[in-house]
Amino acid sequence: MNKKTILKAAVAFILTFVLILVIGSCNQKINAKSKNKVEKTDAAEEQEETENKKKTEATEGSRPLAGLSLYLQKAAEKKVNILKILLDRWQQEQDDISLLAEVIYHENWHTDKDHLAAYYTGAVVMNRVKRDDPWLHLNGDKTVYDVVYAKGQYSTTKKFYTVELPEECYEMARDIYRNGTPDVPETVIFQATFKQNKIWKVINGEYFCFG
């Protein structure tokens, strides 16, 4: 092998080696760019997920279904018996509506033909359920039973569940319990055949007064 052949071989080797280094360097740069892009994409997705979560929590109050979904998820995480909670709440609602219908009927169902006094009576009961009444020692969460059977209240309680009530009574009780009484001020908490405070309305001798 002569010197010229050896020189050519050496040059070819050097050129090949340099080409390999250049290609390797380019691949490293490409890989680095791809990695950065992936990391940026992951970070963007994580940020978007965080923002969506914040939006969901922020609208929980204005979107009942979203709030319910979040509630059920948290309950499931805590291994809470969701079915039992829902059944208990449903039963409490049925008991409250049934007792409210009894009060409406026995207190004022026959006071006037339009049953306005009965309607206002139901409103008074629910107003007491919603607000704190220190004078009755009824503060915090209350049920219709707590209000109706408070000491010194509703003299007709002994008549409850002694007769069959008309379906209209239950319909009125359900409507008041579930939809409220926006036409009756929340501060009207007295109902009796005599004046107890500043009068709101009087129907056939039945006084409805502010508390």
Angle between helices 116-130 and 82-108 (to 10 degrees): 140
Rg of the chain in Å (alpha carbons): 38
Angle between helices 3-58 and 64-77 (to 10 degrees): 110
Q: Which of 116, 115, 102, 110 is nearest to 200 (CA)?
A: 116
Angle between helices 116-130 and 167-179 (to 10 degrees): 40
Return the pLDDT at 126: 96
Task: Give the whole-angstrom CA distance, residue 134 versus residue 142.
Answer: 13
Return the pLDDT at 151: 86
Return the pLDDT at 49: 72
> Who contacts 195 (Cβ-Cβ below 8 Å, separation ≥6)?
207, 209
pTM: 0.62
DSSP-derived secondary structure letter, 163: S
> Who contacts 210 (Cβ-Cβ below 8 Å, separation ≥6)?
185, 187, 188, 189, 190, 197, 198, 199, 200
Average pLDDT per 10 consecutive residues for the chain, totaling 211 residues: 52 57 56 54 67 57 57 68 84 96 97 96 95 63 91 92 97 97 95 95 95 86
What residue ranges do the domains of the chain occupy?
3-77, 82-210
- Bridge partners of 161, per DSSP, are none
Six-digit token pair at 60?
């929980």
